[in-house]
A = this chain, B = another copy of it.
Amino acid sequence: MNILFLNGPNLNLLGQRQPEIYGRTTLGDIEAQVREQATKAGVTIDFRQSNHEGELVTWIQQARGKFAVIVLNAAAYTHTSVALRDAISAVEVPTIEIHLSNIHAREEIRHRSLIAAVCWGQIAGFGEKSYYLALQAALQLKPS
């Protein structure tokens, strides 16, 4: 069983950027943690980041048949991308929407998620732990 973790724009800066909101852990730290937990659970992961909407769209498209679940932290594109929404609809791989911060408690422009309507579920506000919870959620699809 393979799980694809996709990270959107500016998440490569994690740990440097506004630590009062996002914490000091880097994306590399998170990837390491997720990988370790995944290994324990007997699944493999792929973990990528891009600042390009188009690249994220392509990666989602290519997930078909290769990944059982997509965990997507679309960051800023959550609020502006209909293309990501269409890619998720098209690929028909269950997708979990995650956010480091509680987007519902931030500025107005972050309240609306354009992708939520086509995702399996949403986990938001637990910092890096949003990733680990998403892994737990994904593992439920693992055939025993």
Q: Which residues of A contact B (CB under 8 A)?
A: 8-10, 12-13, 16-18, 50-55, 57-58, 61, 64, 75-77, 79-83, 85-87, 89-91, 102, 104-105, 109-114, 116-126, 129-130, 132-133, 136-137, 140
Contact = CB atoms under 8 A, between A and B. Distances in A.
Given A54-B51, A122-B125, A83 B76 contact: yes
Number of chain copies forming the complex: 12
Nearest to A108: B108
Given A79-B82, A129-B140, A133-B136, A61 B122 contact: no
A1 to B, nearest CB: 17
Nearest to A52: B54
Given A13-B91, A16-B90, A120-B126, 6 more contacts: A12-B61, A51-B57, A52-B54, A102-B121, A104-B119, A105-B117
Main secondary structure on A side of the interface with B: helix
B83 A102 contact: no
A81 B79 CA distance: 9
A122 B136 contact: no
B116 A105 contact: yes
A104 B117 contact: yes
B83 A9 contact: yes
B123 A121 contact: yes
B90 A18 contact: yes
Nearest to A102: B121
Nearest to A78: B82
